[in-house]
Amino acid sequence: MQNPDDNLSPMSAGVAARDQMLRQNSCDPTATTPMGPAGGNCVLYTKCQADAPVIWCPHSDSTNERGGYYPHTWPDFAGEMIRNFLDAQK
Protein backbone atom coordinates (compact mmCIF):
# COMPACT_ATOMS: atom_id res chain seq x y z
CA MET A 1 0.00 0.00 0.00
CA GLN A 2 1.46 3.31 -1.05
CA ASN A 3 0.05 6.80 -1.32
CA PRO A 4 1.71 8.74 -4.17
CA ASP A 5 1.38 11.94 -2.09
CA ASP A 6 3.26 10.50 0.91
CA ASN A 7 6.43 12.57 1.41
CA LEU A 8 7.62 10.49 4.39
CA SER A 9 7.70 7.32 2.31
CA PRO A 10 8.13 8.38 -1.31
CA MET A 11 6.35 6.57 -4.13
CA SER A 12 9.73 5.65 -5.61
CA ALA A 13 10.55 3.67 -2.44
CA GLY A 14 7.21 1.86 -2.59
CA VAL A 15 7.69 1.02 -6.27
CA ALA A 16 11.22 -0.25 -5.56
CA ALA A 17 9.89 -2.48 -2.74
CA ARG A 18 7.11 -3.79 -4.99
CA ASP A 19 9.55 -4.52 -7.80
CA GLN A 20 11.87 -6.35 -5.40
CA MET A 21 8.97 -8.55 -4.24
CA LEU A 22 8.00 -9.24 -7.87
CA ARG A 23 11.55 -10.41 -8.63
CA GLN A 24 11.86 -12.39 -5.40
CA ASN A 25 8.55 -14.18 -6.02
CA SER A 26 9.25 -14.77 -9.74
CA CYS A 27 6.22 -12.76 -10.83
CA ASP A 28 5.39 -11.65 -14.35
CA PRO A 29 5.03 -7.87 -13.81
CA THR A 30 2.54 -7.58 -16.68
CA ALA A 31 0.08 -10.22 -15.42
CA THR A 32 -2.32 -8.46 -13.06
CA THR A 33 -5.97 -8.43 -12.15
CA PRO A 34 -7.82 -5.71 -10.23
CA MET A 35 -8.94 -6.59 -6.73
CA GLY A 36 -10.93 -4.89 -3.98
CA PRO A 37 -11.59 -3.10 -1.88
CA ALA A 38 -13.00 -0.13 -3.72
CA GLY A 39 -10.76 2.91 -3.51
CA GLY A 40 -7.61 0.90 -3.06
CA ASN A 41 -6.68 0.72 -6.74
CA CYS A 42 -5.22 -2.69 -5.86
CA VAL A 43 -3.90 -5.24 -8.32
CA LEU A 44 -2.97 -8.85 -7.72
CA TYR A 45 0.00 -10.14 -9.69
CA THR A 46 -1.40 -13.40 -11.05
CA LYS A 47 1.68 -15.16 -12.39
CA CYS A 48 3.99 -15.59 -9.40
CA GLN A 49 5.58 -18.71 -7.97
CA ALA A 50 3.16 -20.89 -6.02
CA ASP A 51 2.20 -19.55 -2.59
CA ALA A 52 3.98 -16.22 -3.19
CA PRO A 53 1.32 -13.64 -4.14
CA VAL A 54 2.06 -9.95 -4.53
CA ILE A 55 -0.62 -7.27 -4.17
CA TRP A 56 0.03 -3.59 -4.94
CA CYS A 57 -2.28 -0.79 -3.82
CA PRO A 58 -1.35 2.77 -4.90
CA HIS A 59 -4.18 4.39 -2.93
CA SER A 60 -5.13 8.04 -2.54
CA ASP A 61 -6.57 7.99 1.01
CA SER A 62 -4.97 11.08 2.58
CA THR A 63 -7.39 11.78 5.43
CA ASN A 64 -6.54 10.79 8.99
CA GLU A 65 -9.07 9.72 11.63
CA ARG A 66 -9.56 13.36 12.69
CA GLY A 67 -10.38 14.45 9.15
CA GLY A 68 -7.07 16.22 8.51
CA TYR A 69 -4.83 15.88 5.48
CA TYR A 70 -2.13 13.30 6.18
CA PRO A 71 -1.02 11.13 3.22
CA HIS A 72 1.27 8.96 5.41
CA THR A 73 -1.75 7.38 7.14
CA TRP A 74 -2.98 3.83 6.65
CA PRO A 75 -5.90 3.80 4.20
CA ASP A 76 -9.35 2.92 5.55
CA PHE A 77 -9.27 -0.44 3.78
CA ALA A 78 -5.87 -1.52 5.17
CA GLY A 79 -7.06 -3.69 8.06
CA GLU A 80 -9.53 -5.66 5.95
CA MET A 81 -7.02 -6.04 3.12
CA ILE A 82 -4.25 -7.31 5.39
CA ARG A 83 -6.61 -9.74 7.16
CA ASN A 84 -7.89 -11.12 3.84
CA PHE A 85 -4.33 -11.52 2.54
CA LEU A 86 -3.19 -13.39 5.64
CA ASP A 87 -6.33 -15.56 5.73
CA ALA A 88 -5.64 -16.62 2.14
CA GLN A 89 -2.17 -17.85 3.15
CA LYS A 90 -3.56 -20.62 5.40
What's the average pLDDT block by block, 10 residues per block, for the chain (90 residues)? Answer: 94 97 98 84 93 92 92 90 86
Q: Rounded to an integer, what distance in angstroms lies between the CA atom of residue 74 and that of residue 22?
A: 22
Please give the pLDDT value at position 5: 94
Whole-model pTM? 0.86
Please give the pLDDT value at position 57: 93
CA-nearest of 55, 62, 63, 60 to 80 is 55
